[in-house]
Structure 1
Amino acid sequence: MTIKKINYQGWEDSYILSNSQIEAIVVPEIGRIMQFRFQGGENTFWEDSQLYGKIPNLKSEEWNNFGGDKTWPAPQSEWEEITKISWPPPTTFDSVPLKIQIQNNEITLISEIDPFYGIRFYRQITLEANQPIMKVTTTFEKVKGDSQQVSVWTIAQLNEPVCVYAAIPQNSIFPQGYNQQSDELPANLKVDNGILSLKRDRNKAHKIGSDASTLLWLGETVAVRMDSPRIDKVIYPDNNSSAEIYTNYDPKAYVELEFLSPLKTLQVGEKMDLTVTYTLFKTTSENVETQVLKILER
């Protein structure tokens, strides 16, 4: 495995992690993992090309949605009470450069202390040797302030999919296998034999939550499976959701695959973390259903 400093899309201080099969690109200037792909293969993470090379503008009235993979504190419904604004996201988590530490073939992104949450976060990024697998462990550390109930929330923005899936557990806590988090459900939402599937609506945004431990993005030539095992007998944010899928409308054609940790009240000196495993698969246009069942190990 190698780590090399590169100029990525105008961000000069970027880094590429690679092994014999895959590569991941990390951009500390915008605090994100901006790409995950087979070497020479199809990009999977969505990026806004209009923001290439730019850094977050904290004075901008418009949210800078760079794309890639990031972390926010959950639940979002408490942002306004904690930060005094409901949108955009807390700047320390979304809109400031992060420090970087490189050690033993892994990269760790390190934030400043958020003034509202009193939390510093770390994102430890590694590739498994000779495997198409990336692991990201996101840690929240309570450094100062009053105790705070919070959940680690990771958001991966991916390009327009052929379809998106969630592996619903056999004994789901949700009668339909999901819970509705937007005004309307996706018109093409289906749950069949424990597999939830949906496609992006070009005209409206939609969001659902679930108790899945595995999400799947299916592209034209490659698929990304994301895994983060749900823990039993604990409470999660957003109506007890440990996994969420968001689909955006045109012209920004992306979907989000999201995982959340259990809610925990952090005292100063305490930490909590969430690990997500990202696995790449090569796909073909034939026998999509068979490929999905194989990837999801169903």
Structure 2
Amino acid sequence: MSEKITVTKTNYQGWEDSYVLSNSQVEAIIVPAIGRIMQFRFQGGENTFWEDSQIYGKIPNSKSEEWDNFGGDKTWPAPQSEWEQITKISWPPPTTFDSVPVKPELENNELTLISEIDPFYGIRFYRKITLEPNQPIMKITTTFEKVKGDSQQVSVWTITQLNEPVSVYAAIPQNSIFPQGYNQQSDDLPANLKIDNGILSLKRDREKAHKIGSDASTLLWVGEKTAIRMDSPRIDKANYPDNNSNSEIYTNYDPKAYVELEFLSPLKTLQLGEKIDLTVTYTLFKTTSENLEEQVRKILGS
């Protein structure tokens, strides 16, 4: 018998008109006011997504030069290296993707967030959030639609900010396109980076930010009691941004103790009316502090 998925409106951390999608096992919290999925967790379980409690309830200001890092899960256009050429600003991120409210649309217990048209990219994004009825699984399909202006090469980029991990992992393909199994995207490599039998692991450095890219289709965050596996299959022979990376891991320094697990779609030159999308599947697991490596290999299926 299929479990019922429920959708309820709530005030989440001061943001009115937020939504909770839930089944009997897990819940996802969506905040249209800031265009983010702010939480994914077991019912009554620990938070997995990082949130900045200092700006709870704040409404984004697209004119601000200060960047409000709300946390949660969001989408930006990639590659980031082209932002300045397209928007005339290298930072903060393009406002339509990062700091304006979006419109929620509810249909058959699926919630879709719909953005305005970005004035620089001429793109509108859609993020469809669904839960599997009988499992601790959420799927988010992010679609970019070209609705204005000249053709534009772009990739869908999803960024999930997660709390301080015990460790972060990536399942490196046996025939990785990268000789070391990853490509270095920051001055120094992340803390405790190693690869053992096809599994890359690393920790957060409290003093410096680090980033790597990879051709892994599966990333894994492990917390104190919960793990979240994220899957988005790489498309063979496609061309990806950031030195051909379809997945990336970023670790932030103190005091904002978070990591980012990121996926990218292949690059595509969008003509008017064309779309490109990226689906990421998020699966929750309960973990213990004992035999962590054994649990990790089981979760990653290796």
TM (norm. structure 2) is: 0.98
Which residue number corresponds to residue 117 of structure 1? 121
Correspondence for 2:259 among 252, 255, 262: 255
1:160-171 superposed matches below 5 A: 160-171=164-175
Spell out, residue by residue over 1:52-108, the C-alpha distance to the aligned partner (whole angstroms, 9 max, x if none): 001112233320000000000000000000000000000000000000100001000
State how far apart, in whole Å, the 2-side matches of 1:13 and 1:96 are.
15
Spell out, residue by residue over 1:183-225, the C-alpha distance to the aligned partner (whole angstroms, 9 max, x if none): 1112310011110000000000000000000000000000000
State how far apart, in whole Å, the 1-side matches of 2:207 and 2:64 are.
26
1:80-119 superposed matches below 5 A: 80-119=84-123
Which residue number corresponds to residue 63 of structure 1? 67
Which residue number corresponds to residue 241 of structure 2? 237
Flag the 1:41–1:187 CA change in 2: closer, same or farther, 3 A: closer
Larger displacement relative to structure 2 (51-60 or 76-85): 51-60
Which residue number corresponds to residue 189 of structure 2? 185
Q: Alignment partner of 1:196: what SS?
A: strand
Assess if the C-alpha contact under 8 Å between 2:49 and 2:160 holds in 1.
Answer: yes
Spell out, residue by residue over 1:225-277, the C-alpha distance to the aligned partner (whole angstroms, 9 max, x if none): 00000000110000000000000000000000000000000000000100000
1:228 aligns with 2:232: yes
Alpha-carbon distance, 1:122 to partner: 0.1
Alpha-carbon distance, 1:130 to partner: 1.4
Which residue number corresponds to residue 300 of structure 2? 296
Correspondence for 1:79 among 70, 83, 94: 83
Which residue number corresponds to residue 13 of structure 1? 17
Q: Alignment partner of 1:188: what SS?
A: strand
Q: Alignment partner of 2:297: what SS?
A: helix
1:206 aligns with 2:204: no
Correspondence for 1:137 among 133, 136, 141: 141
Identity level (%) = 86
Assess if the C-alpha contact under 8 Å between 2:65 and 2:92 holds in 1.
Answer: no
State how far apart, in whole Å, the 2-side matches of 1:60 and 1:141 are.
26
State how far apart, in whole Å, the 2-side matches of 1:284 and 1:257 are.
22
Correspondence for 1:32 among 32, 36, 54: 36
State how far apart, in whole Å, the 1-side matches of 2:134 and 2:165 are.
26
Query: What amino acid sits opposite 2:109 in the alignment?
Result: N
Correspondence for 2:284 among 280, 287, 291: 280
Spell out, residue by residue over 1:162-202, the C-alpha distance to the aligned partner (whole angstroms, 9 max, x if none): 00000000000000000000011123100111100000000
Query: What amino acid sits opposite 1:85 in the alignment?
Result: I
Q: Alignment partner of 2:294: what SS?
A: helix
State how far apart, in whole Å, the 2-side matches of 1:259 and 1:121 are.
16
Q: Alignment partner of 1:113: what SS?
A: coil
- Structure 2: tracts of 5 or more residues without a match: none
Q: CA RMSD in A?
A: 0.5
Spell out, residue by residue over 1:101-138, the C-alpha distance to the aligned partner (whole angstroms, 9 max, x if none): 00001000000000000000000000000100000000
